[in-house]
Structure formats: structure tokens, C-alpha cells
Structure 1
Amino acid sequence: MLVPSLDALMRILIVTPLIYLAAVVLLRVSGKRSLAKLNAFDLIVTVALGSVLASTVTSSNTALLSGVAGFGLLLLLQILVSWLTSRRHVTSSVVRSEPTLVVRHGEFLPDALAEVRLTEDEVRQAVRFQGVGGLDQVAAVCLESDGSVSVITDSSVGDGSALTDVRGWRAD
């Protein structure tokens, strides 16, 4: 079907602004942390929120109140999990992965690269993206729990305290 029925079109025109308004209100109430992409769990929740929003707008089988309830429940679960992980180390280690050091003092760590399935070329690309011309200028490269790659240069490593939670880091 290329053109929706008039009923389906009217439903979209009415439901879309209402679910949008509900989403804005619920996101404001739940706080900034609700859409942060700090780890894989956060990404899953963000995708699920988008899916609930989309199905509420486009599916005549999903009532507006059901969509709002699903959206709100996902946010409530996100708040609960983030609250637990910020207070209980055991819960945190279940939800979040720890950062992985893949370069230390300009040297690739082959076992770590294999573990996180990164290539040396991908790491070099991340180093270049940070405006660094050589690995000899790099103190550390870490694959973070959210999947991003952090590059710490020798000139910016400071006392290394930001790397204390990275297994395998040592200032030397």
C-alpha cells in the first residue's frame, strides 16, 4: 500500500504530537542521564525508546497510552539501573564493561586488540582523528565501555589518574 487510509493518516497526525509531548515531558523528568550513551545498556535503552516511539506513531495496533506507558517504563528501568550501578559495584560490573587498554606508551598490545576485535589500522585512524601524528606521542589508547576510542597523548597524560580504572595501565 503506497497511500495510507484517511483513518490511518488522521491517527498519525493526532498521535504524533501527543507522543512527542509525552516523550519530552518524560525525558525532562527522568533527567539527562536517561539518554547518555555511556555503555551498551544505555545504547539498548535509547534504541528501545525510539522503537516504542515509532511503533506508537505508525502502528494502529499500539494505543497512545500503551506507547506512553512503555516509554515511561523503559525510562524508569533506565533510572533504576543507573541508580544501582552508581551505588553498587557488583551491579555496575554486570551492566558496564571496563575500558580496555590497546596501546601503552606508543606500543600496540596485541592480546588486547584481539580481545576487543580492533585492528592496528583502526587504532591508527583514531589517533589521527585526535590530531596526533605518531604513536611515539601516545601514552595510551583505550577502547571505552561505550565503544569509543580515547587517545591520551604523552603531553596530556598528567598524573595518569584518569587511567586508574584501565587494566594494564602503568605510568612507568
Structure 2
Amino acid sequence: MEKVFFDSWESVLRTLIIGVLAYAVLVLQLRVSGKRTLSKMNAFDFIVTVALGSTLATVLLSKDVALLDGLLAFGLLILLQFVITWLSVRHAAISDLVKAKPVLLLFQGNYLWEAMKAERITKEEILAAMRSQGISAVEEVGAVVLETEGSLSIIKKIEGNESSVLEDVSKREA
């Protein structure tokens, strides 16, 4: 019970040194890996982020894991994320495997109930997203899209070619 609040000065110094070095290397590796690593997260990016956080915590708190092992783990996770995203840009099958497709939830005033049900989105959530964009009437909206990272995009109704920004959006009938 005596080690609940304090183990030893050696333990405190190790945590301080490892924490600063691991954090600095992690930030450096994330900067080198590019903006895509730090962009809005889809499910794949979220998993990588959780894995990086778990690795950082393990390196910081486990005396059984050396700093070099932790830095190698950071590098490996970031490299794998880079390779998967590089491949997903070049191969549709890999992209489809790691990324969700945007889904149309409302089109020209009509709620697409089947799509909403499949994506577990309520009418109230769509209305809240419209309000946050300053929309005062559903009739002002041409489309609402659930994006790959979970946000709702509100596209105002325009005359002409409304489907131009919707070409990659999965469409389910109501």
C-alpha cells in the first residue's frame, strides 16, 4: 500500500525523461508523416490514434518497455497508417475497406428514412445540424450527407445541377 502515492525518485525521473522524449518523437513523427495523419478522423484513423495513445501510455508507465521499443512502435503504427492511406488513394478496393462512404440522408426536402435507420441518425440530429448552419427551413436544404468521419454536411438548395457535389455519396431510397 505504501507505493500508492510514491514509488521512488528513480521512477519519477524515468517517467519524466521517457515522457518528454516519447512525446517529442511522437510529435515529430506525426509531423513528418503528413497532414493526413492528423486530419479529421474516420474509423481507421481513430483506431491508429487510440493505438498511438495506448503505446504512449505503455511506454510512459511500464518499466518493462524500453524507450527505443516504444519509439519503434510509434514509427511502425505511423508507417502502417501511411502505407494504408497511400494504397487507399491508389486502389479503390483498399479505400473501400478502410473508409466508409458518405451517405445521403435527406434529398430535396425528403428524409431518406432507410438510410437514416441504417446509419442510426435521427430526424432531430439532422434538424440540429441544419440549425447550427443557420438554416431556418428544411425547404432551404438540397441535401444532408453523413460524411465518412461522422459529421453532417448541409448542402443548400440551388437551381441547376444539385448533384455535382453528391457524386460519391451513397444513395438509398426512402
TM-score by length of 1: 0.91
- The residue aligned with 2:86 is 83
Query: What percentage of residue pairs aligned between the two structures are identical?
Result: 43
- The residue aligned with 1:115 is 118
The letter for the 2-side match of 1:87 is R
Farther off after superposition, 58-67 or 9-18? 58-67
Name the Cα RMSD after superposition.
1.9
Work out which of the residue numbers 142, 157, 164 in structure 2 matches 1:139.
142
Farther off after superposition, 52-61 or 63-72? 52-61
Tell me: CA distance 1:157–1:61, structure 2 relative to 1, closer, same or farther (3 Å): farther
Structure 2 SS opposite 1:147: coil
Asked if the contact 1:35/1:46 (under 8 Å) is kept, the reply is no
- The list of structure 1 runs, each at least 4 consecutive aligned residues, that deviate by more than 6 angstroms after superposition, is none
- The residue aligned with 1:46 is 49
How many residues of Structure 1 are paired with residues of Structure 2 in the alignment? 169
Asked if the contact 1:139/1:157 (under 8 Å) is kept, the reply is no
Deviation per CA, 1:25-51, whole angstroms, max 9, x where unpaired?
211221111122342101111121122
Tell me: CA distance 1:18–1:73, structure 2 relative to 1, closer, same or farther (3 Å): same
Farther off after superposition, 2-11 or 66-75? 2-11
Structure 2: any 5+ residue segments left out of the alignment?
none
The letter for the 2-side match of 1:140 is A
- The residue aligned with 1:164 is 167
Q: Does 1:55 align with 2:58?
A: yes
Farther off after superposition, 31-40 or 86-95? 31-40
Asked if the contact 2:142/2:162 (under 8 Å) is kept, the reply is no
